[in-house]
Structure 1
Amino acid sequence: MTEVRTLLEGRGLVESPRWHGDRLYFSDWSAGEVVAVDATGSTEVVARVKSLPLCTAWLPDGRLVVVSSADGLLLRREPGGALVTHADLGRAAWNDVVADGRGNIYVNEVGFDPISGEASKPGSVSLVAADGSPRRVADGIAFPNGMAVTPDNATLIVADSYGHALVALDIGADGALSNRRQWADLGEAAAPDGICVDAEHAVWYADVPNERCVRVAEGGEVLQTVHLDRGGFACALGGPACRTLFIAAAEWRGMTEPEMVTPGSGRILATEVDVPGAGWP
């Protein structure tokens, strides 16, 4: 059995784990906070944004960008800690974000009806250019969730939660996306959420209803499964050797519940893996 340890507990709906420097950063959607935690479990709130979703990415120059979905904004954290507008995305159901090694920022949006629990229209992916202007570069994804970029900056992989699949798109020289294809069929029971890639070009995906994280090869072969005692919302590889899989997990109640997760059930979990992380996030 894979040993899973608890790095931090007592949080709310935790998401968007990102390893940067010598700390793990994650979002607590319930608290409206972006939090950094070190190997000892010591924490620091680095940003406060009342938004749900609340996802983050690191730019190549070391600055943090934060999706403030409620305001339709992509915020940027300056070295002194101030949050400024990086891009005006417009009002939409913005969800996850990833930045590649060249500074391309991809943000996805979903057409989601929280009452019925169904997507009202297909989701899309937008590229935020260097001048802060967004443009749609992919659409027709049932429910785009976690995203990751391969280490060669050539491919964006998107978790389609309602499509039960990972979708791949080629990244052009100008950041545009093309050649959309199914990277892996995960089976109808799978609900992929946050993802990351490793040095063997496999993808780890977190799965809320199935309470697990799964490593898959292109095509969908299951290489490893980490079983959890609560929903896995997102995962990221990090640590000194980039061989620690960090998992944001909480007890899921449902999209239509006043509290989507059991208060205080949010945890940051960690387990060691054989293949180090690569690419982004």
Structure 2
Amino acid sequence: MNVSTHVEDRGLVESPRWHEGKLWFADWMAGEILTLGSQGDTHVMARAKAPPLSFDFSVDGRMLIVASGEQWLLRREKSGEVKPFADLGGTEWNEIVVDGRGNAYVNGAELVLVTPDGKVQAQAEGFAFPNGMAVTPDNSVLIVAESHGRCLTAFDIAADGSLSRRRVWANLGTGTPDGICMDESGAVWYADVPNQRCVRVREGGAVLDEVILDRGAFACMLGGPTRQTLYITAANWFGMARMGEMQGSGQVLSVPVPVPGAGWPLAATSVVS
């Protein structure tokens, strides 16, 4: 596949999102959330503590932010001001996805549901390093990447956002999933740091496609006008103790793919019942 480079010389880049016709991504080392312009220029849209630093968009377009050490889920208002939104408690948090009903799922030591009115409800725990998450287009299934478990785990989503029927959606063998996204066929793309690749799998774990890189792939997102561009955030990885050595290796890449993206994360503009 033909891999294009859009951004170079960043730190640990993560959490790509396609929103309002642009790619948004986070740089954990800079503590910045940025947009990528059409000429390869970047613009800082928010700053928060990192690492980690992840975000997604509520159905009204406001950004929800998970920032390092923050007890609160933060919200970036349309004015650009960042304010506390929901009290998550004192544990470490990692990733977030917002579904088409406006419910946010945040993971870390446990997985919680944050309803649109800011109420927090515990849903599950006991993950082997939970990472990226995605929701099916009909809002019926949440998929969670378990990096150390080398699997994708699924839950059924009830009408009120609560989760049930936990199960393994795909065993990945040597795969180490980080950020994930879904396509219209129901397959999942997952980014893989130690194996320096992005992989597309169907339910059950059969490999459908693969993009090989020269550095770790931390997250991926299907975007572009037809959602047929796989954006990848990638960087060299030497472990948390040597994180400073990542500076300058962070890149935002893209690859054209035949099957468009679907589900969430997505730039949703209205509530889906």
State the TM-score, normalized to the length of structure 2.
0.95
1:272 corresponds to which of 242, 250, 256: 256
After the TM superposition, list the runs of 4 or more consecutive aligned residues in structure 1 that deviate by more than 6 angstroms. Answer: none
Q: Which residue of 1 aligns with 2:147?
A: 161
Q: Which residue of 2 aligns with 1:186?
A: 172
- C-alpha displacement of 1:22: 1.2
1:263 corresponds to which of 247, 250, 271: 247
**Matches of 1:214 and 1:165, distance apart in 2:** 13
Please say if residues 179 and 191 of structure 2, whose CA atoms lie closer than 8 Å, have aligned partners that are also in contact: yes
User: SS at the partner of 1:50?
Assistant: coil
Q: Which residue of 2 aligns with 1:199?
A: 184
Q: Which residue of 2 aligns with 1:82?
A: 81
**Matches of 2:93 and 2:194, distance apart in 1:** 22
Q: What are the within-5 Å matches in structure 2 for residues 189-228 of structure 1?
A: 189-228=174-213
Please say if residues 13 and 234 of structure 2, whose CA atoms lie closer than 8 Å, have aligned partners that are also in contact: yes
Most deviating of 231-240 and 87-96? 87-96
- C-alpha displacement of 1:146: 0.3
2:159 corresponds to which of 173, 176, 184: 173
Amino-acid identity (%): 57
User: SS at the partner of 2:233?
Assistant: strand
User: SS at the partner of 1:257?
Assistant: helix
Q: Which residue of 2 aligns with 1:55?
A: 54
For structure 1, list consecutive stretches of 5 or more residues without a partner in the other structure. 111-123
For structure 2, list consecutive stretches of 5 or more residues without a partner in the other structure. 266-273
Q: Which residue of 2 aligns with 1:8?
A: 7
- C-alpha displacement of 1:38: 2.3
Q: Which residue of 2 aligns with 1:136?
A: 122
State the TM-score, normalized to the length of structure 1.
0.92
- C-alpha displacement of 1:258: 4.7
Please say if residues 99 and 106 of structure 1, whose CA atoms lie closer than 8 Å, have aligned partners that are also in contact: yes
Matched positions, count: 265
- C-alpha displacement of 1:130: 2.6
**Matches of 1:250 and 1:218, distance apart in 2:** 28
Query: Which has the higher relative contact order, 1 or 2, with Cα contacts under 8 A spaced 6 or more apart?
Result: 2
User: SS at the partner of 2:44?
Assistant: strand
Question: Could you report, residue by residue, the CA deviation over 1:94-153 in whole angstroms, capped at 9, with x for unpaired residues?
Answer: 00000000001000013xxxxxxxxxxxxx210012331211111221111000001010
**Matches of 2:243 and 2:232, distance apart in 1:** 24
